[in-house]
């Protein structure tokens, strides 16, 4: 009898959404990656190496770093960045600590982000609508 394959555990949530920068008066793309795991002592920062080349964004998770402010708090570890110039069809990949990669293809405009292609076996859940993004 063949073993049933279990889908990989989802470890991260990834938000890709347009945002308007009121200070600079331009649209940017907000990319936020956070752990699904909640931490009860501190709100750790997710250490991520980022590389933006043309329309390809690579995020490599390095681990957790303690918060810069030592205020106690609960929640996931988080990485957040706003990017200029991401528009049209872009490739976004996330590499986990184990070296596995999830690659997504998204179409970015100033008003919305549309998922074009996602990996079949995922450890990352992608969200493109900020109203569906838990604010924890």
Mean pLDDT along residues 93-107 = 96
Neighbours of 29 (CB within 10 A): 23
Check the CA dihedral 64-95-86-84 and report its sign.
Answer: positive
Q: Which residue, 92, 98, 2, is CA-closest to 54?
A: 92
Residue 73 above 80 pLDDT? no
pLDDT interval class at 132 (50, 70, 90): confident
**119-131 average pLDDT score:** 91
% pLDDT > 70, the chain: 89
DSSP 119: -
Mean pLDDT (the chain, rounded): 88
- Spell out the domain ranges in the chain: 12-132
Specify the pLDDT at position 5: 54
pTM assigned to the model: 0.87
By DSSP bridging, strand 101-108 and strand 124-127 are unpaired
């Amino acid at each position: 009898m063949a073993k049933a394959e279990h889908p990989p555990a989802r470890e991260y949530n990834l938000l890709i959404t347009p945002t308007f920068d009121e200070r600079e008066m331009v649209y940017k793309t907000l990319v936020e990656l956070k752990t699904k795991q909640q931490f009860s002592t501190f709100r750790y920062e997710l250490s991520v190496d980022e590389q933006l080349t043309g329309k390809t964004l690579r995020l490599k998770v390095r681990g957790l770093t303690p918060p810069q402010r030592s205020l106690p708090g609960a929640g996931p570890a988080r990485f957040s960045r706003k990017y200029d110039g991401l528009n049209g069809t872009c490739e976004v990949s996330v590499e986990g600590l184990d070296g596995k990669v999830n690659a997504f293809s998204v179409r970015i405009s100033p008003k919305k982000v549309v998922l074009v292609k996602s990996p079949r076996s995922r450890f990352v859940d992608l969200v493109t609508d900020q109203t569906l993004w838990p604010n924890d």
